[in-house]
Amino acid sequence: MSAKKNTKDTDSDVDIPAMNFESPADETLMTTVEVMRFLNLSRTKVWMMIQNEGMPAFKIGGDYRFRKSELIVWMEKYRFSKKK
């Protein structure tokens, strides 16, 4: 069911491809506060991880938004497994 549909922006003649997500829950955009709760981190730590650790984020207006699925993939590089 991946119909490719283009919509026209009302203010210009630019074609905008329609978004088609397989799993909308994974594509949820989270606010900084939601990420703070999700990862149990302070706002300062989240901001530091964006700047220093490459935490994936969008800057929209004066605040960040985070795609939950990208955060989960990004966190995998920090996984620690103890060898037996």
Report pTM.
0.64
Parse the chain into domains and list their residue ranges: 23-78
Residues 6+ apart with CB under 8 A from 3: 18, 20
What pLDDT band is residue 16 in, cutting at 50, 70 and 90? Answer: low
Distance of alpha carbon 28 from alpha carbon 50, whole angstroms: 18
Topology of domain 23-78 in CATH is Arc Repressor Mutant, subunit A (1.10.10)
pLDDT for the residue 78: 86
Convert the pLDDT of each residue in 50-84 to its tens digit. 999 999 999 999 899 999 999 999 999 888 887 76
Q: Rg of the Cα trace of the chain?
A: 17
Average pLDDT over residues 26-38: 90
What pLDDT band is residue 37 in, cutting at 50, 70 and 90? Answer: very high
Looking at the DSSP assignment, which residues form a beta bridge with residue 60? 63
List the structure tokens of 27. 């594509």
